[in-house]
Amino acid sequence: MTGVDIAFWILAVVSVVAAVLVVAVRDVFRAALSLILCLLAAAGIYITLSADFVAAVQVLIYVGAISILIILAVVLTRDVQRGSLTNRLKVPAIIVALLFFGAGAYAVLNTPWQVARKAPIEPTTGALAGRLFGEGGYLLSIEIAAVLLLAAIIGAIVLVREK
């Protein structure tokens, strides 16, 4: 096993443990912090797979923007220490989750995955950034996503402020 393989498996274990903590922890703020850890571990996994641009996007968008938005909503919400109350839909939710897990496992196991024999020769960051921001024409969609995130943050602040 190489050092990259060991780092991959350590990050995979951290990611799975953090994902389980997101669901299992009753305190919503600590669940949000576990989500940040899970997303950071996913970015580390992208780095071990030589997908440096995807890792940077993971950190900037998910860890940076989405996690801050979740923590802002948690901080501005009253009675956050109570967590979610128990209800009658726990068993149906477990059944639906198991069905989704079964469908995902079936898709993963029955897909003919193509595995690259060697890492990419040229860096992928420059080529992908050139396609996104240059000749690809996706700059407008990225700007629209930024405006939508800003509108969501402003809307959350307006909804929770005192009259």
Residue matched to tokens 């600590």: 30
pTM of this structure: 0.60
Domains in the chain, please, with CATH?
3-82+122-160 (1.20.120.1200)
DSSP string, 9-33: HHHHHHHHHHHHHHHH-S-HHHHHH
The pLDDT value given to residue 79? 59
Whether 142 and 148 have beta carbons less than 8 Å apart is answered as no
pLDDT tens sequence across 129-144: 777 777 767 778 878 8
Residue 111, CB half-sphere, CA atoms under 13 Å: how many? 9
The pLDDT value given to residue 29? 80
Residues 43-55 have a mean pLDDT of 88
The pLDDT value given to residue 10? 95
DSSP string, 65-116: IIHHHHHHHHHTSSSGGG-PPP-TTHHHHHHHHHHHHHHHHHHHHTS-----
Amino acid code (one letter) for 8: F
Whether 46 and 55 have beta carbons less than 8 Å apart is answered as yes
CA distance 135 to 112: 32
CA distance 120 to 12: 22
